[in-house]
Amino acid sequence: MYRGFLVSLLGACTPPAVTCGPGTHLAGDVCISDDTDADTADADVDTDADTDTDTDTDTDTDADTAGPGAPVAVCTAETSPVDVGQTLHFDGSASYDPNGHPITSWSWQLIERPTGSAATLDDAGVSTPVLIADAEGQYDAVLSVTTDDGGVSTPCEVVASAAWIHQIVVQLYWTQPGDDLDLHLLRGDVSAIGTVDDCGQGNAHPEWGAPGTLDDPRLDLDDIPGTGPEDITMDEPAEGTYTIVVHDHASHVFEDGNDATVNVFVGGANVFTSTLTILGEDSWTTFGTVEVNSGVVTVTP
């Protein structure tokens, strides 16, 4: 009797078996939908995909940072003004490439020069070009360099300048190329043309006055292609009268009128400017006179 009662009691304490319906399965003692695991699996896949994306992004960033550096153009010139008529030196030989590639080409460009200047670089494709400073003012140049692997630098800019260091400077330039105009400075009046008292083409460095060269005129710039300029200078001119004339040389036939400008600088200051129209081959045109009296220089038309 008691044995049968105990078996019945144990059977009553055992929980009934759980049966799950279609599309579900037993998880512990709870039935859950089969779609739940699929969603969870999808979420895991998506999470892994995001992780892969982050990895790709890091790789791209590293590649951009690893690119080669560009070459560096370094350009210099004289730090003090040179005398008008003298040479200005530009130097790009210190240019370099941070990755060690050799510089294979230099490219210079003169982007600014003084009014009336016809100056050009003698060779814009070398590391150290030069030019003749044919007018007072600034000469602005830029340099770019290229390496053997095709790298190109950012342009480097440098400014050099020229100034009148002489006591008297007479300067001529003209408007139309194709004409050959010559500047002359005469000791005395126009009767000195063609004599030893005529400083100009054919007599560029005459000996005037006292021994030595300080009081002698010099034709520093002559026969410049294009539109000049031409310059005659004097350091310590002797007292007297000097006449400025321009010769239209017959070697270049230019039938139209050509506007020519003469500037006179005294102690670096422009004290005289005159523009006249030159017309007629082999003509002589007087622009003005320079009077030196007790160290005072006066220029008149």
pLDDT in tens, 102-111: 999 999 999 9
Q: Under a CB-based contact definition with an 8 Å cutoff, are residues 107 and 66 in contact?
A: no
Whether omega before 71 lies within 30 degrees of 0, making that bond cis, reads no
DSSP-derived 3-state class of residue 190: helix
Structure-model confidence comparison of residues 25 and 44, the more confident one? 25
Task: Name the band, by pLDDT with cuts 50, 70 and 90, for residue 178.
Answer: confident
Number of DSSP helices (H) and strands (E) in the chain, helices first: 2, 19
Strands 156-163 and 82-83, bridge-based pairing: parallel
Rounded (5°) CA angle 58-61-64:
155
Residue 243 scores a pLDDT above 70: yes
pLDDT: is 156 or 56 the higher one? 156
The answer to whether residue 135 scores a pLDDT higher than 90 is: no
Least-confidence region, from 50-64, 78-92, 199-213, 236-250: 50-64
pLDDT, average across residues 168-190: 92
Give the CA distances from residue 48 to residues 36, 42, 58, 59, in Å, rounded to whole numbers and listed in that order: 19, 10, 16, 17
Distance CA 154, CA 160 (A): 20
For residue 121, the model assigns a pLDDT of: 96
Backbone angles phi, psi at 90, to 5 degrees: -110, 145
Beta bridge partners of 139: 160
Q: How far apart are CA 148 and CA 71, in angstroms?
A: 10
Lowest mean pLDDT among 35-44, 233-242, 272-281: 35-44
pLDDT value of residue 69? 82
Residue 205: predicted pLDDT: 94
Lowest mean pLDDT among 27-31, 89-93, 279-283: 27-31
Q: Report pLDDT for 136.
A: 87
* Mean of the per-residue pLDDT values of the chain: 82
Q: Is the pLDDT of residue 287 over 90?
A: yes
The pLDDT score that the predictor gives to residue 251 is 74
Whether residue 246 contacts residue 172, with contact meaning beta carbons closer than 8 Å, is answered with yes
Q: What's the predicted TM-score (pTM) here?
A: 0.60
Parallel, antiparallel, or unpaired: how do β-strands 240-248 and 137-147 relate?
unpaired
Q: Is 239 helix (H, G, I), strand (E, B) or coil?
A: coil
Contact at 8 Å (CB) between 134 and 221?
yes
Q: Is the pLDDT of residue 96 over 90?
A: yes
What is the DSSP annotation of 285-299?
EEEEEEEEETTEEEE
Question: CA 77, CA 89: separation in Å to the nearest integer?
Answer: 6
- What are the Cα distances from residue 9, in Å, to 2, 4, 12? 11, 9, 5
Please give the pLDDT value at position 269: 85
Mean pLDDT, range 3-18, rounded to an integer: 44
45 vs 81, residue with greater confidence: 81
Mean pLDDT of 285-290: 97
| Mean pLDDT of all residues in 120-131 | 96
Q: What is the pLDDT of residue 257?
A: 87
Report the alpha-carbon distance of residue 285 to residue 120 in Å, rounded: 29
pLDDT score of 139 more than 90: yes
- Which residues are CB-contacts of 169 (< 8 A; sequence separation ≥ 6)? 84, 231, 232, 233, 234, 263, 264, 265
